[in-house]
């Protein structure tokens, strides 16, 4: 367990040295592919399922729960029924499924997370923590006004969470479109942002725990 935790810490530190960037950041994801962003907002788990399959080159024999980034990875019977396991992952652990696909793409293409994206993701987490604290305080104190404030903050937290997740999944979709040559009429980013190594299959990142 300690060695696995150390490996995860090393991987997180390694991502800080990545030099490539996403083809669209979170602030521009909605304009990059508005229909997909709306679909991600209203049916996030289904989109997460489709994106993970695409990230694995539609080869479900490569599937591991949460892409190998969680302690449960490789222990859920994925090899026997990967489709059912993936469906369970995206519906029961939606946030982890989105994050795992993100890590998978980052490790495949050496993509860093920009400071702007980090700020947006951090704000999402901060709002969730604030909503949790306010709800606990309101429950302990029993003040109706504080309960109303906690409810408002909780609603704001949910809105931000689903909005960020939908933009994040759109960001992943655009990256996969570039990898698979499906950009269509979408504008191509400047060359200095497109440093990629052409390869038929990605390295087995995130799959060390079978």
- How far from 176 is each of 23, 55, 182, CA to CA, in Å? 10, 7, 8
Domain boundaries, the chain: 41-180
Cβ contacts of 51 within 8 Å, gap of 6 or more: 101, 169, 172, 173, 176
Does residue 186 register a pLDDT over 80?
Answer: no
What percentage of the chain carries pLDDT values higher than 70?
Answer: 81
Q: How far apart are CA 104 and CA 102, in angstroms?
A: 5
What is the predicted pLDDT for the residue at 205? 45
Return the top range by mean pLDDT from 7-21, 99-113, 188-202: 99-113
Whole-number pLDDT of residue 207? 40
Q: Which of 10-24, 40-54, 131-145 has the highest mean pLDDT?
A: 40-54
For residue 36, how many other CB atoms are within 10 A of its CB? 20
- The predicted structure's pLDDT at residue 3: 63
- Over range 16-45, report the average pLDDT: 91
Tell me the pTM: 0.78
- The pLDDT assigned to 190 comes to 45
């Amino acid at each position: 367990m300690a060695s696995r935790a150390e490996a995860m810490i090393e991987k997180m530190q390694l991502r800080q040295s990545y030099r490539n960037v996403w083809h669209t950041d979170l602030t521009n994801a909605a304009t990059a592919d508005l229909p997909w962003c709306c679909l991600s907002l209203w049916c996030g788990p289904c989109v997460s399922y489709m994106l993970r399959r695409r990230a694995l080159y539609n080869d479900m024999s490569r599937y591991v729960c949460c892409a190998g980034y969680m302690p449960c990875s490789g222990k859920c019977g994925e090899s026997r029924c990967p489709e059912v396991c993936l469906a369970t992952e995206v519906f029961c652990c939606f946030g982890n499924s989105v994050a795992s696909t993100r890590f998978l793409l980052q490790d495949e293409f050496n993509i860093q997370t920009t400071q702007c994206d980090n700020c947006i993701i951090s704000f999402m987490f901060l709002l969730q923590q604030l909503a949790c604290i306010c709800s606990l305080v309101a429950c302990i104190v029993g003040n109706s006004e504080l309960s109303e404030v906690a409810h408002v903050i909780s609603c704001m937290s949910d809105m931000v969470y689903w909005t960020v997740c939908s933009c994040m999944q759109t960001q992943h979709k655009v990256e996969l479109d570039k990898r698979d040559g499906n950009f269509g009429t979408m504008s191509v980013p400047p060359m200095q942002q497109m440093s990629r190594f052409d390869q038929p299959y990605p390295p087995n990142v995130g799959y060390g725990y079978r």
